Amino acid sequence: MNNAGLRSRAGGGEASGATSPRWEETGLARSRASPDTFPKYLLLNAERFRGRPAMRHKDYGIWQSWTWEEQLAEVRAFALGLQTIGLQRGDRVAIIGANRPRLYWTFAAVQSLGGVPVPVYADAVADEMAYVLAHAEVKFAVVEDQEQVDKVLSVSGEVPSLAEIVYDEPRGLRDYDHSHLHAYTGLRDAGLKRLAEEPGADEAWHAEIEKGKGSDLAIMLYTSGTTGRPKGVMLSNDNLVRSALNGNAFDSLDENESTIAYLPLAWVGDHLFSYAQSYTAGFCVACPESADTVNEDRREIAPTYFFAPPRIFEAMLTMIMVRMDDAGRLKRAMFDYFLAHARKVGEPILQGERVGFLDRLKYALGDILVYGPLKNRLGLSRLRVGYTAGEAIGPELFSFYRSLGLNLKQLYGQTEATVYVTAQPDGKIRADTVGLPSPEVEIRIADNGEVLYRSPGVFIGYYKDEEATRRTKTADGWVHTGDAGFFDADGQLKIIDRAKDVGRLRSGAVFAPKYIENALKFFPDIKEAVAFGDGRDFCAVFINIDLQSVGNWAERNNVAYASYQELAQHPRVREIISGHVAETNRRLSREPMMAASQIRRFLILHKELDADDGELTRTQKVRRGFIAERYGELIEALYDGSTEKYVETEVTYEDGRKGRLAATVRIVDAEVYEMPGEPVREAAE
């Protein structure tokens, strides 16, 4: 019944032409060409994309769709409902939950009244949530379900500003005290009732929208903050609209795209991709049925525009490989054969390079037999633009997807920049760069290697944290990323490390340990690497072999070994690792910034770095400082020219007992290259 009311309102009102004069009155006609807020875009889209889908949600096993004018009707009804519980201009509204249409509508409804949405990570524990809600001084919370209601109620004592809670999913909430708790549908119905009974309610709402300005605060996003408390990044309408329009133009996104919203609402990427870009370009956003069904739902929607962090692409690849292991012989043979061919010619074809006719023919056949079905299974058969960002993606993984003909690209961005800092343009894609500066973005590399940018997307500031704002954003609008990087020969940005971890060799050349370690770790034989060089003459590394990978090799080549220690010190293993180091050096030598930090000497550690011994963090990150202390004599040996060193190390076994491990570790001189890739001297061994 309520839905029927919504429909007739949306359809009937506009079909009769009754709304046209109002466009003139409110002056919206003037700003129609380029609205400066999202509610204004919503009004525009309901006109220009009339009848086109704006939102989909799988519910009860069926994809439900809302057109732009239906979306407008939903947003209007909920906004009028929010007014009945006292929402006013400037009020902050927390939005907590999974990707559901009603939560996305809440953004527009709140913004239409001049309120500020504050999306909060739905999986935040109550304590973190309390801090964000209290810091943002939210007055309302619109949440998904009972779980979130409970969480918000449990911290409401610490959030004195919080007045009302609205929930979408009523299950389990029937017996709750509803004096400050409201069902979404209840407010929506109240809004519909006002629309039907109060003369001028609709006009007043349009007038509220008209009051919104581009410079207004549009949203506050709390950065998850690996160190210290989360900070509230304030983004204006202008920030989001300009960034979205630039992004749309860069990838030529229009109303024909479709995308699936499955990343956290509180993450700037989702807000840009699933809200700002959808409103500005007019494309449809699909919300999955539940977090567990994303893979199936993606397959049904087949998005044309898709974003995922590397770990998701990795999980998808693993899923394929596991399934292929169970497949029949013929299928597996086909898979292997055509994938090998794709590795050879897939990427060049995608980049538009010259590829022979026969190879193209074979690739086309592969597309029919293998790549096509595979892409369909992944839900990527219609993909036009795919992005990955957030962390470095393994080159193998990246090329796997690209070789199938998927236009997967990398971008580098930050909440403070409204996502875009750099992005890779079509045809210029590489696994190890993050692309060219995005439209209207200026980038500068500071003397210490830190990347600074200035753009229309640069945030207003951190909420209630003047000092942090000053530290991050200079008076003339440059923002410190905290990341060190450099531009390569093609003008693409490469991010090498956190700026604070970057040091210098004694010669003054930049030394980025993580960059070198990551380059080494791309070899499956190398599990862990620790690079030294800050304040030293040259770069030297400790290497941990990967027992599984090297063990496999040993088995295949009849190399007998009794322990990790013995395998690690095996001369043939040393040869293999030597080759990897030389290859890494050859790559480093091609980069002017990095050529000086080629690895001169390395050693293979006699034991695996282990969190139990304090050498790694519990999340398996190398604790460089601790290792430098613990293996001080080995580091000295790396730099004093000796060829081997006897060490004894205390180890902690899993049951807590301690033991000592003694070994003679060989130190190896590595091949070093001259800039553009000729060896200058042979290895000592």
Rounded to an integer, what distance in angstroms lies between the CA atom of residue 38 and that of residue 256?
19
Contact with other proteins (CB under 8 A) among 61, 571, 625, 641: 61
Rounded to an integer, what distance in angstroms lies between the CA atom of residue 596 and that of residue 507?
9
Least CB distance to other proteins at residue 59 (A): 6
DSSP notation for 290-302? SGGGHHHHHHHH-
Under the binding rule (CB under 8 A), the answer on residue 172 touching other proteins is yes
Under the binding rule (CB under 8 A), the answer on residue 156 touching other proteins is no
Under the binding rule (CB under 8 A), the answer on residue 66 touching other proteins is yes
Least CB distance to other proteins at residue 370 (A): 23
Residues 516-545 that bind other proteins (CB under 8 A): none
Rounded to an integer, what distance in angstroms lies between the CA atom of residue 530 and that of residue 622?
7
Under the binding rule (CB under 8 A), the answer on residue 174 touching other proteins is yes
Under the binding rule (CB under 8 A), the answer on residue 171 touching other proteins is yes
Least CB distance to other proteins at residue 581 (A): 45
**Residue 34, SS3 per DSSP:** coil
Under the binding rule (CB under 8 A), the answer on residue 6 touching other proteins is yes
Measured from the CB atom, is 67 or 589 closer to other proteins? 67
Q: What is residue 64's DSSP assignment?
A: E
Under the binding rule (CB under 8 A), the answer on residue 123 touching other proteins is no
Least CB distance to other proteins at residue 2 (A): 8
Determine which helix (DSSP H) or strand (DSSP E) holds 651, and give its type and residue range: strand 644-652
Under the binding rule (CB under 8 A), the answer on residue 57 touching other proteins is yes
DSSP notation for 198-215? STTHHHHHHHHHHH--TT
Under the binding rule (CB under 8 A), the answer on residue 326 touching other proteins is no
Least CB distance to other proteins at residue 201 (A): 22
Site string for other proteins, 292-311 (x = CB under 8 A): xx--x---------------
The 10 Å CB-count burial string (b at 16+, else e) for 371-382 is beebbeebbbbe
Measured from the CB atom, is 183 or 547 closer to other proteins? 183
Under the binding rule (CB under 8 A), the answer on residue 13 touching other proteins is no
Would you call 140 exposed, middle or buried from its count of C-beta atoms within 10 A (0-12, 13-18, 19+)? buried
Measured from the CB atom, is 170 or 348 closer to other proteins? 170
59-67, 92-100, 117-125, 266-274 -> range binding other proteins (CB under 8 A)? 59-67
Helices (H) and strands (E) in the chain, counts: 26, 30
Contact with other proteins (CB under 8 A) among 20, 24, 27, 59: 59
Under the binding rule (CB under 8 A), the answer on residue 2 touching other proteins is yes
Least CB distance to other proteins at residue 177 (A): 17
Rounded to an integer, what distance in angstroms lies between the CA atom of residue 624 and that of residue 643?
23
62-70, 150-158, 261-269, 333-341 -> range binding other proteins (CB under 8 A)? 62-70
Measured from the CB atom, is 98 or 520 closer to other proteins? 98
61-69, 388-396, 476-484, 528-536 -> range binding other proteins (CB under 8 A)? 61-69
Least CB distance to other proteins at residue 75 (A): 13
Measured from the CB atom, is 182 or 341 closer to other proteins? 182
Under the binding rule (CB under 8 A), the answer on residue 157 touching other proteins is no
Under the binding rule (CB under 8 A), the answer on residue 290 touching other proteins is yes
Contact with other proteins (CB under 8 A) among 47, 289, 440, 613: 289
Least CB distance to other proteins at residue 125 (A): 16
Measured from the CB atom, is 109 or 162 closer to other proteins? 109
- Return the percent helix, strand and coil in the chain, to nearest 5: 45, 25, 35
Distance, C-alpha 555 to centroid of its chain:
39
Q: Strand pairing partners for 92?
A: 116
Under the binding rule (CB under 8 A), the answer on residue 65 touching other proteins is yes
Rounded to an integer, what distance in angstroms lies between the CA atom of residue 269 and that of residue 372?
28
| Beta-carbon contacts of residue 496 (< 8 Å; ≥ 6 apart) | 449, 484, 485, 486, 502, 512, 514, 515, 593, 594
Count of residues that interact with other proteins, criterion CB under 8 A: 23
Rounded to an integer, what distance in angstroms lies between the CA atom of residue 51 and that of residue 150?
39
| Beta-carbon contacts of residue 60 (< 8 Å; ≥ 6 apart) | none
Distance, C-alpha 465 to centroid of its chain:
25
Measured from the CB atom, is 73 or 599 closer to other proteins? 73
Whether 129 contacts 152, CB under 8 Å: yes
Measured from the CB atom, is 38 or 184 closer to other proteins? 184
| Beta-carbon contacts of residue 306 (< 8 Å; ≥ 6 apart) | 259, 260, 298, 380, 383, 385, 386, 387
Q: In the block, which residue shows the tokens 């309408």?
A: 237
Under the binding rule (CB under 8 A), the answer on residue 60 touching other proteins is yes
Least CB distance to other proteins at residue 290 (A): 5
166-174, 483-491, 524-532, 559-567 -> range binding other proteins (CB under 8 A)? 166-174
Measured from the CB atom, is 296 or 575 closer to other proteins? 296
Q: Is the dihedral of CA 261, 265, 267, 268 positive or negative?
A: positive
Measured from the CB atom, is 80 or 294 closer to other proteins? 294
Residues 209-268 that bind other proteins (CB under 8 A): none
Rounded to an integer, what distance in angstroms lies between the CA atom of residue 52 and that of residue 74?
15
201-209, 259-267, 287-295, 382-390 -> range binding other proteins (CB under 8 A)? 287-295
User: In Å, what is the CA distance from 581 to each residue of 354, 600, 683?
Assistant: 32, 9, 11
DSSP notation for 259-276? EE--S-TTSHHHHIIIII
Whether 70 contacts 10, CB under 8 Å: yes
Whether 170 contacts 147, CB under 8 Å: no
Would you call 5 exposed, middle or buried from its count of C-beta atoms within 10 A (0-12, 13-18, 19+)? middle
Under the binding rule (CB under 8 A), the answer on residue 563 touching other proteins is no
Q: Which pair of tokens denotes residue 677?
A: 């890739």
Least CB distance to other proteins at residue 45 (A): 16
85-93, 286-294, 356-364, 423-431 -> range binding other proteins (CB under 8 A)? 286-294
Contact with other proteins (CB under 8 A) among 46, 49, 68, 70: 70
Under the binding rule (CB under 8 A), the answer on residue 314 touching other proteins is no
Contact with other proteins (CB under 8 A) among 16, 17, 21, 62: 62
Under the rule (CB under 8 A), what is the footprint of other proteins? 2-3, 6-7, 57, 59-62, 64-66, 70, 170-172, 174, 185, 289-290, 292-293, 296
